[in-house]
A and B are shown apart, each in its own frame.
Chain A
Amino acid sequence: MPAVTETIDTVASVTSGTYKYGFETEIEMEFAPKGLNEDIVRFISARKNEPEWLLAWRLKAFALWRTMEEPRWPAVKYPPIDYQDAYYYAAPVKKPGPKSLDEVDPELLRTYEKLGIPLREQAILAGVEGAGESPAEGRMPVAVDAVFDSVSVATTFKGRLEKEGIIFCSISEAVQHHPELVRQYLGSVVPQADNFFAALNSAVFTDGSFVYIPKGVRCPMELSTYFRINAKSTGQFERTLIIADEGATVSYLEGCTAPMRDENQLHAAVVELVALDDASIKYSTVQNWYPGDEDGKGGIYNFVTKRGACRGRRSKISWTQVETGSAITWKYPSCILQGDESVGEFYSVAITNNHQQADTGTKMIHLGRNTRSTIISKGISAGKGQNTYRGLVKIQPKASGARNFTQCDSLLIGDQCGAHTVPYIENRCMTAKVEHEATTSRIAEDQLFYCRQRGLSEEDAVGLIVNGFCREVLKELPMEFAVEAQKLLQISLEGSVG
């Protein structure tokens, strides 16, 4: 059944317009002192018991970062960030693996409960030994690597994945147990000097997920991470690295909610994907961080570098994102199509309401022959929101027969918001074919009236029309995520009409 037909269920379950996940968990924290300098970088590295090469790698990144400047080109406005006025390390105090849910910090469980995570999954998330080995009937198994603030609290379904030779763990664990893989691939897609935020992340990243799918293995379940930003003034510097070896296939889900908070929080993640010959990686995100209140106060600053390298022939990387949260979103999940006949895809829904600002899009870099890319971007602006699609399609001389199709649609709700489309196309190959389509529309009064005449409330009508507008993207999401995404679209736009 197409995901969109589920709209009614999700619409019905949404009743409150305030940010649903705004709560804060009180768990004993271990902090590094405030501020950022070489000692902090050393502290983080020591805390995580890292090998010398990684410390050197971090220090190099830190040195580079100090020479770099924050990018000014995005179409977003925010007050200057004081990088010295934040904590760069906070970890929940870790006890050895609990034997049952009774031993798990009840505060942590309450957090999961508020997030609507079922009890069985809570046990898995909290790392209860033996939990989660047999997936419930009729449900697609999902393995979860929970990032609770900076340290991965637990990784699930490990046993089943291990049988296939799949590595799915926190990047800290990977550094300890699979240093050769980390060393080979870390920074190989997003180098330390790539940009200001990537350099910062490289210096101070605390945790994130690591996935390795061996040759010829099709990952038997969706891999998933719940991100939570939880400690006051703690920047989140996730580092995720996913490698699909020859002929491997994996689908990875990243879902985010954050507690409500008054001050702005900086988030600068880096995600690197590597697909070798005939490998395929699907990376799906539903981002719902606190967007700030109706007056634009508070909210997360989300400066993310996500990039995938299709290194192998016929490899494929597909990004799907639903961006409803954050005060500021600066994010361009990209594909480097190096292998001949490799495929890159980008499906995006970005919503800005109230004072939210989003500058998001993708880069498709065609290097190999007969490489193909598809970009479908749906931007929705409401309130005083500003939504910019910024995309680059670059075709190098050797990429003969390369093809790109881009479609950028903008939907405006109200008359104080803005939608902007900034497509860059650089084609240096005569045999390449690049197509770009763009539309801007409003929710028409007759559409709203038609729905209301049939009995829908105005907000349900907007939700239905917006979900219809986003259908091409939502259908790319895994089923469970699609339902959550539709719910978020609805919540994000509450109060935007009338």
Chain B
Amino acid sequence: MLKIEGLTAEIDGKEILKGIDLEVPTGEIHAIMGPNGSGKSTLSYVLSGREGYEITGGAASFEGQDLLAMEPEERAAAGLFLAFQYPVELPGVGNANFLRTALNAQRRAKGEAELDAMQFLKLARERMRALSMPEDMLKRGVNVGFSGGEKKRNEVLQMALLKPRIAILDETDSGLDIDALKIVADGVNAMRGPDFSALVITHYQRLLDYIVPDRVHVLMGGRIVQSGGPELAQQLEASGYGSVRAA
């Protein structure tokens, strides 16, 4: 279970998160919706340990481990995965090499045997077929020259390979056409199970037609201002965030 209590954080002296309380039980998928500037991306970065954010109060734990005391790579090894809103390019670093390095780093951290090149390729090809990704994407530099859709699919491929216990999807739907959106959603839905949970951060309700969440939370002004079932997302779509503000 991901447990966040009274979390406050600032960047460059400006308070962005003003007391987040949130619980995502194992096996559930929760959506966080909110207008631009509400703190959605900040929350995902604070949970995954990006530098530059100062935690000023509160706590966050995953499966009882104090997330905020861990290095980003330790959080990754503990099973936390962040699908980036803007996946980063690594020129000259082959995608296959990157994926295998990451996978083996995590396997090492868990005390599992590393995969050799052949084992890895077999696994990667299998997962790529499921995501309708052309095989040459393994040979290209990480995200270099990828279209927006390809970058997002590459994030989902990484998730499928790394098999996290909790995935945070930071506006993974932005810039995707409907076909790519379905592929991404299929990738997430395929992970669904009693040992997997996810925090799907999105601006629009569209993605939630394909990844149906167990709970929906509305993040505004650095706080969760409303929570409900999947129907909350549809209400928001119909009446906008203004209705929440008014409430």
Task: Give A contacts to B, CB under 8 Å.
Answer: 1-2, 4-5, 7-8, 11-12, 444-447, 449-458, 460, 464-465, 467-472
B5 within 8 A of A: no
Tell me which residues across on chain B come within 8 A of A449, comparing CB atoms.
50-51, 72, 88
Distance between Cα atoms of A445 and B158 in the complex (Å) = 20
A472 near B92 (CB under 8 angstroms)?
A: yes
Option from A4, A5, A444 in Cβ contact (under 8 Å) with B117: A5
B93 near A4 (CB under 8 angstroms)?
A: yes
Distance between Cα atoms of A1 and B138 in the complex (Å) = 12
B106 near A455 (CB under 8 angstroms)?
A: yes
Distance between Cα atoms of A454 and B82 in the complex (Å) = 8
B230 within 8 A of A: no
Distance between Cα atoms of A469 and B90 in the complex (Å) = 9
Q: Choose among B48, B52, B87, B97 the residue with the greatest number of A CB atoms under 10 Å from its CB.
A: B97
B94 within 8 A of A: yes
B94 near A455 (CB under 8 angstroms)?
A: no
Expressed in whole angstroms, the minimum distance between the Cβ of B143 and any Cβ of chain A is: 9
Option from B98, B114, B158 in Cβ contact (under 8 Å) with A464: B98
B101 near A7 (CB under 8 angstroms)?
A: yes
Option from A8, A11, A470 in Cβ contact (under 8 Å) with B92: A470
Output the nearest chain A residue to B110 by Cβ-Cβ distance.
Answer: A455
A447 near B73 (CB under 8 angstroms)?
A: no
A468 near B162 (CB under 8 angstroms)?
A: no
Expressed in whole angstroms, the minimum distance between the Cβ of B80 and any Cβ of chain A is: 8
Option from A5, A445, A454, A470 in Cβ contact (under 8 Å) with B102: A454
Tell me which residues across on chain B come within 8 A of A469, comparing CB atoms.
91-92
Q: Choose among A4, A8, A458 the residue with the greatest number of B CB atoms under 10 Å from its CB.
A: A8
A7 near B97 (CB under 8 angstroms)?
A: yes
Distance between Cα atoms of A12 and B104 in the complex (Å) = 10
B96 near A453 (CB under 8 angstroms)?
A: no
Expressed in whole angstroms, the minimum distance between the Cβ of B62 and any Cβ of chain A is: 14
A454 near B92 (CB under 8 angstroms)?
A: no
Q: Contacts A11-B101, A455-B77, A457-B105 given; indicate if A468 touches B90 (C-beta within 8 A).
A: yes
Q: Contacts A5-B97, A7-B97, A449-B50 given; indicate if A456 touches B102 (C-beta within 8 A).
A: yes
Tell me which residues across on chain B come within 8 A of A11, comparing CB atoms.
101
Distance between Cα atoms of A445 and B88 in the complex (Å) = 10
B84 within 8 A of A: yes
Distance between Cα atoms of A11 and B49 in the complex (Å) = 24
Output the nearest chain A residue to B86 by Cβ-Cβ distance.
Answer: A446
B84 near A8 (CB under 8 angstroms)?
A: no
Tell me which residues across on chain A come within 8 A of B109, comparing CB atoms.
455
| Other 13 A-B pairs with CB < 8 A, given A449-B50, A454-B102, A454-B162 | A2-B94, A5-B97, A444-B88, A445-B52, A447-B89, A450-B90, A451-B98, A454-B76, A454-B106, A455-B106, A455-B162, A456-B102, A464-B98
B71 within 8 A of A: yes
A467 near B93 (CB under 8 angstroms)?
A: yes
B90 near A456 (CB under 8 angstroms)?
A: no
Tell me which residues across on chain B come within 8 A of A468, comparing CB atoms.
90-93, 141
B18 within 8 A of A: no
Expressed in whole angstroms, the minimum distance between the Cβ of A451 and any Cβ of chain B is: 8
Option from B51, B92, B102 in Cβ contact (under 8 Å) with A455: B102
Q: Choose among A444, A449, A460, A472 the residue with the greatest number of B CB atoms under 10 Å from its CB.
A: A449
A452 near B76 (CB under 8 angstroms)?
A: yes
Tell me which residues across on chain A come within 8 A of B81, comparing CB atoms.
453
Output the nearest chain A residue to B52 by Cβ-Cβ distance.
Answer: A445
Distance between Cα atoms of A468 and B143 in the complex (Å) = 13
Tell me which residues across on chain A come within 8 A of B97, comparing CB atoms.
4-5, 7-8, 464
3 tightest A-B CB contacts, nearest first: A468-B92, A468-B93, A454-B102
Tell me which residues across on chain A come within 8 A of B104, comparing CB atoms.
8, 12
Q: Contacts A467-B92, A469-B92 given; indicate if A455 touches B87 (C-beta within 8 A).
A: no
B117 near A453 (CB under 8 angstroms)?
A: no
Distance between Cα atoms of A2 and B234 in the complex (Å) = 50
A464 near B77 (CB under 8 angstroms)?
A: no
Q: Contacts A8-B100, A8-B104, A468-B141 given; indicate if A450 touches B93 (C-beta within 8 A).
A: no
Tell me which residues across on chain A come within 8 A of B82, comparing CB atoms.
453
Interface residues of B in 115-160 (CB under 8 A from A): 117, 141, 158
Tell me which residues across on chain A come within 8 A of B51, comparing CB atoms.
445, 449
Tell me which residues across on chain B come within 8 A of A446, comparing CB atoms.
88
Tell me which residues across on chain A come within 8 A of B92, comparing CB atoms.
4, 467-472
A452 near B141 (CB under 8 angstroms)?
A: no
B91 near A456 (CB under 8 angstroms)?
A: no
Distance between Cα atoms of A165 and B158 in the complex (Å) = 54
Option from A444, A447, A452 in Cβ contact (under 8 Å) with B71: A452
B162 near A450 (CB under 8 angstroms)?
A: no
Tell me which residues across on chain A come within 8 A of B94, comparing CB atoms.
2, 4-5
Q: List 8 A-B contacts (CB under 8 A).
A: A4-B93, A5-B117, A8-B104, A444-B88, A453-B48, A453-B72, A454-B105, A455-B73
Tell me which residues across on chain B come within 8 A of A447, comparing CB atoms.
88-90
B76 near A453 (CB under 8 angstroms)?
A: yes
Distance between Cα atoms of A7 and B95 in the complex (Å) = 12
Distance between Cα atoms of A111 and B71 in the complex (Å) = 40
A465 near B93 (CB under 8 angstroms)?
A: yes
Expressed in whole angstroms, the minimum distance between the Cβ of A446 and any Cβ of chain B is: 5
Option from A1, A8, A454, A467 in Cβ contact (under 8 Å) with B158: A454
Tell me which residues across on chain B come within 8 A of A471, comparing CB atoms.
92-93
Option from B87, B101, B117 in Cβ contact (under 8 Å) with A450: B87
Distance between Cα atoms of A452 and B93 in the complex (Å) = 15
Expressed in whole angstroms, the minimum distance between the Cβ of B201 and any Cβ of chain A is: 15
Tell me which residues across on chain B come within 8 A of A458, comparing CB atoms.
73
Distance between Cα atoms of A444 and B143 in the complex (Å) = 15
Q: Contacts A449-B51, A467-B92, A471-B92 given; indicate if A460 touches B101 (C-beta within 8 A).
A: yes
Interface residues of B in 36-57 (CB under 8 A from A): 48-52
Tell me which residues across on chain B come within 8 A of A2, comparing CB atoms.
94
B101 near A464 (CB under 8 angstroms)?
A: yes
Tell me which residues across on chain B come within 8 A of A451, comparing CB atoms.
90, 98, 102
Distance between Cα atoms of A460 and B76 in the complex (Å) = 15
Expressed in whole angstroms, the minimum distance between the Cβ of B228 and any Cβ of chain A is: 30
A450 near B73 (CB under 8 angstroms)?
A: no
Expressed in whole angstroms, the minimum distance between the Cβ of B44 and any Cβ of chain A is: 10
Distance between Cα atoms of A444 and B90 in the complex (Å) = 10
Distance between Cα atoms of A54 and B241 in the complex (Å) = 90
Option from B49, B96, B105, B114 in Cβ contact (under 8 Å) with A460: B105
